[in-house]
């Protein structure tokens, strides 16, 4: 009886807390707008990314509209040292929502998490097109 009361009390606190905290707000992207309307992006970004991947890898179609690399240009921030924070680091754009929703994704095991930084690029000829390093360094073959 008493235990039940305690448990239902805790549940009410939990529900109230969720209502107050609500869904997370990721840091705002750069620029005026996203590559699609915000509502659409919120709901369908994973479809766009997967579609873009299939177009590129299976059909050789290269556009940049839904490219993963493009996302980084607008959705990364710099730390106090002026270094880019990985977009999947704690508190950063992709991670804020995915943590909240328990989304696990392996994309960043191969794909870069910070934007192009020309000073880091080795001579183009030294990089095998499509290799792991070319993905990390954002070099399109």
The least distance separating ligand HEC from the CB of residue 111, rounded to whole angstroms, comes to 6
Four-residue CA torsion sign, 102, 50, 72, 140: positive
Q: Which residues on neighbouring strands pair with residue 84, listed in sequence order?
A: 78
Closest among 40, 105, 106, 117 to 72, alpha carbons compared: 117
- Which residue of 7, 8, 13, 28 would you call a contact of ligand HEC, by CB under 6 A? 28
Q: Is 114 left (phi over 0), alpha (psi -120 to 50) or beta?
A: beta
Exposed e or buried b for every residue in 2-13, given b needs 16+ CB within 10 A? Answer: eeeeeeeeeeee
Binding mask 61-80 for ligand HEC (x = CB under 6 A): -----xxxxxx-xxx-----
Q: Which C-beta is closer to ligand HEC: that of 37 or that of 122?
A: 37
* Neighbour-count burial of 88, counting CB atoms closer than 10 A to its CB (0-12 exposed, 13-18 middle, 19+ buried): middle
Interaction between residue 130 and ligand HEC (CB under 6 A): yes
Interaction between residue 86 and ligand HEC (CB under 6 A): no
Interaction between residue 136 and ligand HEC (CB under 6 A): no
What is the binding site for ligand HEC (CB under 6 A)? 26, 28-31, 33-35, 38, 41-42, 45-46, 48-50, 52-53, 56-57, 66-71, 73-75, 87, 93-94, 97-98, 101, 103, 105-107, 109-111, 130, 135, 140-141
């Amino acid at each position: 009886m008493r235990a039940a009361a305690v448990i239902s009390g805790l549940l009410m606190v939990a529900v109230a807390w969720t209502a107050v905290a609500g869904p997370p707000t990721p840091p705002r992207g750069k620029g005026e707008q996203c590559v699609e309307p915000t509502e659409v992006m919120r709901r369908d970004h994973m479809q766009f990314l997967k579609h873009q991947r299939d177009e590129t890898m299976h059909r050789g179609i290269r556009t940049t509209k839904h490219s993963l690399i493009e996302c980084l240009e607008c959705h990364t921030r710099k730390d106090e040292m002026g270094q880019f924070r990985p977009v999947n680091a704690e508190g950063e754009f992709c991670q804020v929502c995915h943590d909240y929703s328990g989304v696990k994704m392996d994309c960043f095991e191969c794909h870069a998490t910070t934007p192009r930084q020309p000073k880091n690029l080795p001579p183009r000829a030294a990089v095998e097109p499509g290799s792991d390093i070319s993905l990390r360094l954002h070099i399109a073959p």
